[in-house]
Chains A and B, each alone.
Chain A
Amino acid sequence: MKKYFTLILFNCLIISAINAQNLDSLLTSETEVEPEYATATFKSTRIINFQSVEQLRTKHLDFRIHHRFGPVNDGAYNFYGLDNGVITMSFEYGVTDWAEVGISRGSAEKTFNAFGKFRILRQSSGSKVMPVSVSAYASTDFYTLKRTDVVLKNIDRFSYIYQIMVARKFNESFSLQFTPTLIHQNLVKTALNPNDTWAFGLGGRMKLTRRSSFNSEYSYAIRPNYVGAIKTANGLSLGFDIETGGHVFQVMLTNTNGMIERKFITESAGSWLKGNFMLGFNISRTFSFKKD
């Protein structure tokens, strides 16, 4: 009799144990395991001047206005550079989640630019582990400024840019991107300049609050170019990203007024130490054409 009793008790225990398993563990087994992709490695498709690994999503249009004032060392007469400025406006579109195209027009040298950016790898953890995000970028620009010093064929006005972007979001607040770059100019402006310039970009993002971050980037050209007889400087830019709903606002201090790769990597001679840096901003407004 005692045996039966023990058995019943034992069985009751099993039943209550299964009950106490509480629907929670069952729920866990019901949940699909998915890779967790890193989001917002950077807040915008630009770190400051450099393109970032962020892609526009499918059917999203980004209208951007980039503006750089004149150099601070222009002095009080030019209101420390604020009297002057160059502007670039662009339309960029996400064809798919991994392919983005864009066109822009810049006031500097009256330049047109077209680009494509393609995601190759996406950083993820969870069921699929990938330590970095990688994108490939190709761009061409065509300047239409009239030149009286030389007779140019149209093809002479083209340059081509190729980049591979490798980025990692280390934690919630810190991301880093390394960007090897090749710039080919069909016709360089002085005999001192190479047609092919190899360069590297290093850019970082440090989140300050939930809606703002501090960004910086450095560009290093392996062989410096010349503007006239002046050797170009490597680019150093420091800035803040501020996001307000549908906009991202980037404000920066930079020693280059270039907003396309050819200009900010090979045609900037500004020296931070001599006060040859300027204030600038990027405004990005994204529109979605995605239904549902």
Chain B
Amino acid sequence: MKKTISIISVMTLSILSAFSQDLFTVKSGEVSFYSKTPVEDISAKNKKPVSILNTANNEIVVQMQIVNFKFPNSLMEEHFNENYMETTKFPTAKFNGKINEKIDFTKDGVYNVTSTGKLNVHGVTQDRTITGKLTINKGEIKLESNFDIALVDHKIEVPTVVFAKIAEKINVSLLLNYVQKK
């Protein structure tokens, strides 16, 4: 009987440790957006996104602080935080979803993937399916993605006076380099 108990315990522990082995976190990453307008190009980079990828069940969460988006023009950055994103009210943007494809994360290769889940920007959650590219190389995972966010979908208001300055759709690029969580 003692034996059986210990076998069960060891099994549980191995499942637990397997679980933590399945988790990948971001070593380095960058989320940027770009909007070309007749007056001025608008671009910003966030170099501090955090993300966790669970290779056991394909779950993925990506989150970033809005205030970490850095603009070349600081006045633009201030407007972005104060007027468009209302950063004090909605400090983060987040994607919470699942990778739809079955992927063998132990095998090196390049995979085109889609992920369905919830995208929260400016306090408004939208159901989205976002496409991306996964590159697995020697235990490191690189995720690249490119998608559009329509301002109206997330109730981000643009005053009519400056309308020419901001496109209605913002193109977002994402690059995340994952390593196994220790």
A residues lining the B interface (CB < 8 Å): 3-4, 7-8, 11, 14-15, 18-19, 23-24, 26-27, 30-32, 34, 36, 39-40, 57, 60, 172, 210-211, 243-246, 286, 288, 290-292
Q: Which of B11, B52, B159, B162 contacts A26 (CB 8 A)?
A: B52
Which residues of chain B are near A286, meaning CB under 8 Å? 73-75
Indicate with 1 or 0, residue by residue over B130-172, a CB within 8 angstroms of chain A CB atoms.
0000000000000000000000000000010110010000000
Bound together, the chains give a CA A4 to CA B12 distance in angstroms of 13
Which residues of chain A are near B52, meaning CB under 8 Å? 23, 26-27, 30
User: Judging by beta carbons under 8 Å apart, are A15 and B15 in contact?
Assistant: yes
Binds A, one of B59-67, B101-109, B119-127: B59-67
Q: Answer whether A31 and B50 are a contact pair too, CB < 8 Å, given A15-B16, A210-B83, A245-B162.
A: yes
Bound together, the chains give a CA A57 to CA B78 distance in angstroms of 11
The reply on B79 being an interface residue by CB < 8 A is yes
User: Judging by beta carbons under 8 Å apart, are A23 and B75 in contact?
Assistant: no
Bound together, the chains give a CA A228 to CA B81 distance in angstroms of 49
User: Judging by beta carbons under 8 Å apart, are A291 and B72 in contact?
Assistant: yes
User: Judging by beta carbons under 8 Å apart, are B8 and A23 in contact?
Assistant: no
Q: Answer whether A32 and B67 are a contact pair too, CB < 8 Å, given A4-B5, A39-B78.
A: no
User: Judging by beta carbons under 8 Å apart, are B82 and A288 in contact?
Assistant: no
Closest A residue to B5 using CB positions = A7
User: Judging by beta carbons under 8 Å apart, are B82 and A40 in contact?
Assistant: yes
User: Judging by beta carbons under 8 Å apart, are A19 and B19 in contact?
Assistant: yes
The reply on B25 being an interface residue by CB < 8 A is yes
Q: Which of A36, A57, A60, A292 contacts B67 (CB 8 A)?
A: A36
B78 to chain A, nearest CB (A): 6
Bound together, the chains give a CA A247 to CA B150 distance in angstroms of 26
Report how many residues on chain B are interfacial, defined by Cβ distance under 8 Å. 43
How many A-B contacts are there with CB distance less than 8 Å?
84
Bound together, the chains give a CA A11 to CA B75 distance in angstroms of 55
Closest B residue to A19 using CB positions = B19
Which residues of chain A are near B54, meaning CB under 8 Å? 23
Which residues of chain B are near A36, meaning CB under 8 Å? 67
User: Judging by beta carbons under 8 Å apart, are A23 and B162 in contact?
Assistant: no
The reply on B175 being an interface residue by CB < 8 A is no
The reply on B118 being an interface residue by CB < 8 A is no
Q: Which of B4, B45, B63, B76 contacts A4 (CB 8 A)?
A: B4
Q: Which of A7, A31, A60 contacts B8 (CB 8 A)?
A: A7
Q: Which of B8, B74, B82 contacts A8 (CB 8 A)?
A: B8
User: Judging by beta carbons under 8 Å apart, are A292 and B72 in contact?
Assistant: yes
Which residues of chain B are near A39, meaning CB under 8 Å? 78, 81-82
Which residues of chain A are near B8, meaning CB under 8 Å? 4, 7-8, 11
Q: Which of B5, B45, B63 contacts A31 (CB 8 A)?
A: B63
Closest B residue to A62 using CB positions = B75
The reply on B176 being an interface residue by CB < 8 A is no
Which residues of chain A are near B12, meaning CB under 8 Å? 11, 14-15
Further pairs besides A15-B15, A245-B79, A246-B73: 18, Cβ < 8 Å: A3-B1, A7-B8, A11-B8, A11-B12, A18-B19, A23-B59, A23-B61, A26-B23, A30-B26, A30-B50, A31-B65, A39-B81, A60-B73, A60-B74, A246-B40, A286-B73, A290-B72, A292-B45
A/B interface sample: 21 pairs, CB < 8 A:
A3-B1, A4-B8, A7-B9, A11-B8, A15-B16, A15-B19, A18-B19, A27-B52, A27-B61, A30-B52, A39-B78, A40-B82, A60-B74, A60-B75, A172-B88, A210-B82, A211-B159, A243-B79, A246-B73, A290-B72, A292-B45
